[in-house]
Structure 1
Amino acid sequence: MLNILVTGSKGQLGSEIRALKVQYQNFKFYCTNYEQLDISNFTAVNEFVKSFGINVIINCAAYTAVDKAENESTKANEVNNLAVFNLARIANDSGISLIHISTDYVYDGMAYRPYTEDDDTNPKCEYGKSKLAGEKSMLELNPPNSIIIRTSWVFSSYGSNFVKTMLRLGRERNQLSIIFDQVGTPTYAGDLARTILDILPKIKNDTVEVYHYSNEGVCSWFDFAKTIFSIENITIDVSPIETKEYPTPAKRPHYSVLNKQKIKKAYQVEIPYWKDSLAVCLMKINNPSTPILI
Structure 2
Amino acid sequence: MSGTKALILGGETGLLGMSLAATFEDAGWEVITTPRPSDDAWNPAALGELLDRHAPDVVFNTWAYTQVDLAEDESDQARRVNAVLPEILGRLASDRSFKLVHYSTDFVFGGKAETPRKEEEKPTPECVYGRTKFEGERALLALDLPDLLIIRTAWLFGPGKKNFVRTMLDLCRRNNCVSVVHDQVGSPTYTPDLAKYSLDLIRADAKGLYHVANAGRASWCELASEALRSAGVSCEVTAIASSEYPQKAKRPGFSVLDTEKFTETTGVTPRSWVQAVRDYVYRETTQED
Matching residue within 27, 41, 44 for 1:42: 44
Q: Deviations over 1:56-105 (max 9, x none)?
A: 11111111000000000110111101100011111111022110000000
Which residue pairs with 1:104 in the alignment? 106
2: CA distance, partners of 1:268 / 1:199: 10
Instruction: Report the more deviating stretch, 87-96 or 248-257.
Output: 87-96
2:20 aligned partner: 17
The equivalent of 1:239 in structure 2 is 238
Task: Report the alpha carbon displacement of residue 195 of structure 1 after superposing the two structures with TM.
Answer: 1.2
Q: Structure 1 residue 219 and structure 2 residue 218: aligned?
A: yes
Q: Give me the whole-angstrom Cα distance separating, in 2, the residues matched to 1:41 and 1:196.
A: 28
Question: What whole-Å deviation, never above 9, does each CA across 1:198-246 have from its counterpart, x for those lacking one?
Answer: 32133255xxx11001100111111111111111111111111000000
Gaps of 5+ in 2: none
| 8 Å contact from structure 1 (residues 3, 28) kept in 2 | yes
| 8 Å contact from structure 1 (residues 39, 45) kept in 2 | yes
Match of 1:124 among 123, 126, 137: 126
Are the aligned partners of 1:97 and 1:143 in contact in 2 as well (CA < 8 Å)? no
Query: Is the Cα–Cα contact under 8 Å of residues 109 and 256 in structure 1 kept in the other structure?
Result: no
TM-superposed CA distance for 1:53, in Å, is 1.4
For 1:37 and 1:217, locate their aligned partners in 2 and report how far apart those are by CA, in whole Å: 39
Query: What amino acid is the match of 1:285?
Result: E
Q: Does 1:72 align with 2:71?
A: no
Query: Secondary structure of the equivalent of 1:123?
Result: coil
Q: For the structure 1 residues 136 and 189, does the alpha-carbon distance in structure 2 shift closer, same or farther, using more than 3 Å as the test?
A: same
Cα distance in structure 2, aligned partners of 1:203 and 1:109: 33
User: Could you tell me how far apart the structure 2 residues matched to 1:204 and 1:272 are?
Assistant: 20
Q: Tell me the residue number matched to 1:59.
A: 61
Q: In structure 1, give the amino acid aligned to 2:146.
A: P
3-state SS in 1 of match to 2:102: strand
Cα RMSD for the two superposed structures: 1.5
Residue of structure 1 in register with 2:205 after alignment: 203
Whether contact under 8 Å (1:37, 1:44) holds in the other structure is no
Q: Counterparts of 1:34 and 1:43 in 2: how far apart (Å)?
A: 18
TM-score, normalisation: structure 2: 0.95
1:270 equivalent in alignment to 2:273: no
Displacement of 1:37 in angstroms is 8.1
How far is 1:49 from its partner? Answer: 1.0
Aligned pair partner of 1:177 in 172, 176, 179: 179
In 2, the alpha carbon distance for the partners of 1:129 and 1:123 equals: 5
Question: Offset at 1:51?
Answer: 1.2
Separation of aligned partners in 1, 2:25 and 2:286: 19
- When structure 1 is superposed on structure 2, of 190-199 and 162-171 the one drifting more is 190-199
SS in 2 for 1:227: helix
> Against the structure 1 CA distance between its residues 38 and 164, is the aligned structure 2 distance closer, same or farther, given a 3 Å change threshold?
farther
Rounded Cα–Cα distance in structure 2 between residues aligned with 1:280 and 1:200: 25
Aligned equivalents of 2:226 and 2:35: distance in 1?
A: 33
Flag the 1:91–1:201 CA change in 2: closer, same or farther, 3 A.
Answer: farther
CA distance in 1, matches of 2:269, 2:64: 26
The residue type paired with residue 233 of structure 2 is: I
Q: Aligned partners of 1:35, 1:287: CA distance in 2, in Å?
A: 33
| Residue 229 (structure 2) aligns with | 230
Code of the aligned partner of 1:101: Y
Deviations 1:125-184 (A, max 9, x none): 000011000000100112112111101111002211100100110101111111111111
